[in-house]
A and B are shown apart, each in its own frame.
Chain A
Amino acid sequence: MTAPVLALDGLGLSRDGRAVLAEANATLMPGELVALMGESGAGKTTMIRAIAGLDPFAAGVVTVGPVRLTHGRRPSGATQRALYRQVGIVFQFHHLFANLTALANVGLALVHVHGVDRAEADRRAQALLDRLGVGHRALALPHELSGGEAQRVAIARALAVDPPLLLLDEPTASLDQARRGELAILLRGLVAEGRTLLAATHDVEFARACAARVLTLSAGRLLHDEPRP
């Protein structure tokens, strides 16, 4: 049996000292696109950030590939470096580095975290941008990009080191109807390559169109629906 890409084991989350989730268990297998749903304030973003190692969580264990995160503190040092080979995150508001071009945004971690030389990093970054349909915007600064373009650059940045797990926070929030369709095609393509995606969203239509299954945060519990046939 293949190992899960992500496993939540008794995960407990709190926000501002208040518990928002208790005893959550889930596993995500390679090649799955899973939607994380729930009302605003239910803790979707909190959960995404905990898995991405950005905030400490209150209880349990998060396992991302070979990396095990325990509650109480943010990962640091070797754990942090190992974690970010396994997981990429696309923020709701993208957070592209304002001082760098699209190309430099994508290549930054390759050069400075993974020791790839700059020419090779630029080549890989350009290839990724081309694949995501924004290759022609490689030398634009973030403020020069449209919302859809910025999202694709942010996805390229998250995919630069080829992590098996990609986290997306509200990926459709800033897109119009046509762009949502394009995004769905793009994400299905990533899944087809064997990548695992966990997308926090409140967009039911998008979840229904893309996700193989849905996890729902409700009243402090994590509910599972059945995998769709």
Chain B
Amino acid sequence: MVSHHVADSVTRAGGVSLVAASQQAAASLSCQAGVAPALSRVSARILAAAIGSVRAWTLLLLIVAVPATPATAQNSELRWGGDAEGGAPFVSADPADGTRVVGFEADIAALLARSLKRTPRFIQSGFTTLDAAVLRGDFDVILSGIEDLPSRRARLALTMPYYEFEERLTVRAADRDRFRSLADLTGRRVGTLGATLAAEVLSEAQSREGVVPVLYEDDVHPYEDLALGRIDAVVLDQVLAERSVARTPGLVNQSTHLASGHYVGGFAPAQSSLRDQANDILRAAMRDGTLQRIFEEYGMWTPGVAALYARESQGSGGNEGDAGAAPPHPALSTAASLGIYLPRLLRAALITLALSCLAMILAVAVGLLIASGRVYGARWLRALLATYVEVVRGTPLLLQLFVIYFGLAAVVRLPALIAALLGLALNYAAYESEIYRGALLAVPIGQLDAARALGLTDMQTLRLVRGPQALRLALAPMTNDFIALLKDSSLVSVITVVELTKATSIFAADIGSWVVPGLACALMYLALSLPLAHVARRLERRWSHA
């Protein structure tokens, strides 16, 4: 399904799931209730943010509380993991019974369990943590529309492919004749999800045709941005493409062949014998038409799938799964992948640094204006600015980024980097202004009397005496804020900016491990923040007497 997001850290799971869930909620809200779409999107996001964070904590608690028992120990059950946030037709909550899940993956799980004489039990896991969860034995098998990718094949025991999909190029209806294939999109921005076959297709198209890939965390925002004109096309698998075109007016799918891929089930390598049994069951179900009936029920039966079944059901026993779809690239070793990804991480670190520096400069400038307004301004101005500060400090930065990027899109379509810069700067300006306001008020009143007694105006006093003295008091908390901003800049990945954390999560998803990417990423953040802290300490020492 690749329904959402590339692999991401556990701590980010809340933020990540927010996107997809909110989009689904928003879609249903705006369709069903017919309320103003922008408004409903925002409120749905707030709701989803709450749900998302609860989910993240539940997941964390589950991971902490459940001992990693070997899967075979519980052989009366077939525990299958999936992400119900992915939605129909993969796995979704049963509208009639919220405790059950439905979807073709649920049907396949039931099929496997029945043949294995076990009871199927669904275990919810974030899409990005599915691989890690099956490896540590949280459940026996992943059935959640996961793609047959070389990186996944290298670390999991995958089943034979049970569904073949085509990658689809989706464009605006007006561009139907202009953008027929990736070759027509040279120099254009094309959206997709990271760590998917579609992302690989786009990565190749980047070097071959000069297409500019834009990686999203979920499968809904690419289509929304396409409709808004922020990007010119989306490449994703046909299941998602058809679902999205059906619910986003003004988009069409092109029939151009780009690539085809497969959905597979995933077991831990130690479970390869169970995987072989699963392959036998799947093969039998291909022969006797059981799988065909399942996919027909969801309107997913295609000639491509029929051909796949004709090919696959010829084989017998063994682990064909491993020889299924020919991987486009062999899986990389960690060392080799570091050579490939390190330059990307460095480039992303530069984006993080540039974005943070610019945002901080802007935040300081705006913060100074707000603080001056609150100290010197008329009563109405003070009230207005105080409200701004309280609203900005009292709401999550993530929400503010969404509002600026998606919520304002109806009025002004800001490019992602500009939206990220504005979001960070306006958020931090509120915090900076409080630092400066406190610092301005901390300058002794005698200094102000002395300035007045020389005939300086308030503005001159601020610029020549009060401001410079306040700035020295503000230096330590400002340094603190800049380091926090450096790390908070990772949040802008939700609006498609590939900065250091995002690049790391792509790296981690591609090689299937967080150890090396996480270390590299941490070292880079430290390399950015430590020198800054050092410089600030020296400045503080020099100014300590003033």
* A contact set with B: CB distance below 8 Å: 52-54, 80-81, 83-85, 88-89, 91, 93, 95-100, 108-109, 112-113, 141, 143-144, 157-158
Contacts and interface: CB of A to CB of B under 8 A. Distances in A.
Contacts, number: 61
Nearest to B444: A95
B447 A109 contact: no
Given A99-B465, A108-B464, A84 B454 contact: yes
Given A97-B465, A99-B468, A112 B460 contact: yes
B339 interface: no
Interface string B435-479: 000000000101101111111100010001100110010000000
Interface of B is mostly: helix
B455 A97 contact: no
- Which of B447, B454, B472, B545 gathers most chain A CB within 10 Å? B454
B452 A54 contact: yes
A91 B446 contact: yes
Interface of B: 444, 446-447, 449-456, 460, 464-465, 468-469, 472, 545-546
Contact of A99 (B452, B455, B472): B472
A165 B453 CA distance: 13
Given A99-B472, A143-B546, A157 B446 contact: no
A169 B51 CA distance: 66
A80 B455 CA distance: 6
Please indicate which of the listed interface residues A52, A95, A141 has the most CB atoms of chain B within 10 Å of its own CB: A95
A143 B472 CA distance: 15
Nearest to A109: B454
B468 A113 contact: no
Given A91-B450, A97-B465, A141 B545 contact: yes
Contacts of B455: 80-81, 83-85, 109, 113
Contacts of B444: 95
Nearest to B470: A99
A99 B469 contact: yes
Contacts of A52: 453
A96 to B, nearest CB: 7
Given A95-B446, A97-B450, A97-B451, 6 more contacts: A53-B453, A54-B452, A85-B455, A97-B464, A143-B545, A157-B450
A144 B444 CA distance: 18
Contact of B453 (A54, A96, A98, A99): A54
B449 A95 contact: yes
The 5 closest A-B pairs by CB, nearest first: A84-B455, A109-B454, A95-B446, A95-B450, A113-B455
A54 B454 contact: no
B454 to A, nearest CB: 4
B450 A112 contact: no
A144 to B, nearest CB: 8
Given A91-B446, A99-B465, A113 B546 contact: no
A97 B464 CA distance: 9
Contacts of A108: 454, 456, 464
Contacts of B468: 99
B163 to A, nearest CB: 71
A82 to B, nearest CB: 9
